[in-house]
Structure 1
Amino acid sequence: MSARAWQCQSLMIGYPDAALLDRLDLLSAAASSLPAPVGEPLLCFLDHVRATPPGKLAEDYVATFDHRKRCCLFLTYYAHGDTRNRGMALLELKQTYAAAGLTLSSAELPDHLCVVLEFASAMDDPGLLIEHRSGLELLRLALHDAGSPWAGVLDSVAATLPPIPTHQRAAVTRLAAGGPPAERVGLEPFGAKR
């Protein structure tokens, strides 16, 4: 069940191109076969896709995910921001995929939610999703705050995962209040006195 859900969610959280639009009936059938907490939000999202002109859907996608930092689809951003540590996290993800026998194309970063969902689906393992649970929850809340139709897709993802642990709830609160970490190395002016 979860592997099928993650495959559907991966397609729905990606850019709304012809690949998505051509699979609406297949996605509806798959979402209908899932338990209600997982499938119903996906069916609502698919209804929105059907009712929205493709150009408007693409415009909304870009406005949501490309222009709002709190709605970032790159999961390591939530834990590491734009710091050097994020580069190491990306490398570790690539190594995880390679160890599982999967090779990424150069078209996408390994921490993009679509890629992580595809990996979870292929392995039938929520490990990476659970590892990035705080970022996923912050993304889910931000999409709800923005009134985004993609919030339902994240509700569906959350419904496939165990409840968020207390320590991760605290991390979500910290992230929501202060944002991801910022680079501190090399930011002092040259020759700054101490």
Structure 2
Amino acid sequence: MSNELFIDEKELLTCIAAGDEAAFRQIFHAHYNKLASFVQKLTKSHSTTEELVQDVFVKVWLNRSELASIAKFESWMYVIARNHVFNHLKKTAREYQQQQAWLELVGADNLEIAGQSDAVDMYSFIEKSIEKLPPQQKKIYLLKRQNGLRNEEIAQQLNISMETVKKHFTLALRFIKDHARHGIEVLVVFSLLF
């Protein structure tokens, strides 16, 4: 189809399903502002809103073959947007929790001494510490910290006792703390010398 305007949304969706970019642009312009307003209320961030709304429309385009069978496009699109926002917020919260846990682990004083520019290096020390853990400790640490599983869930998933989970997690924390602290102390000394 060419640059004609589609009046009927069903016809528009059918054309998009067939790969019509003009039809896609029309639906994009028809829904962008309203969808952005919805996402903005959830994220409270203009840049995040723009990114997420664009992601929603990319998903619409990538799933265009389904569009002809969708009865209520706007509702379908809002569900995609809502899920996308919630996934983004969960990821952001998980990253924040990890950052806070690592700050507790290595001590905020060490971070202040070394300065903000070295924070990335310190973060990499912690990452390297995790990589050096024995396999079972690493698995338990990641299940607990990254996936947010409770001890009971980890024990069930790995088919081990809760006491074993607690023991391995405690050992992992001790190793990470000692290894990361040593790395951070080296960074602090290095930053003071240079």
- Indicate the structure with greater helix content: 2
Q: TM-score, length-normalised on structure 2?
A: 0.29
Compare CA radii of gyration and give the structure with the larger one: 2
Greater relative contact order (CA < 8 Å, ≥ 6 in sequence): 1
TM-score normalised by L of structure 1: 0.29
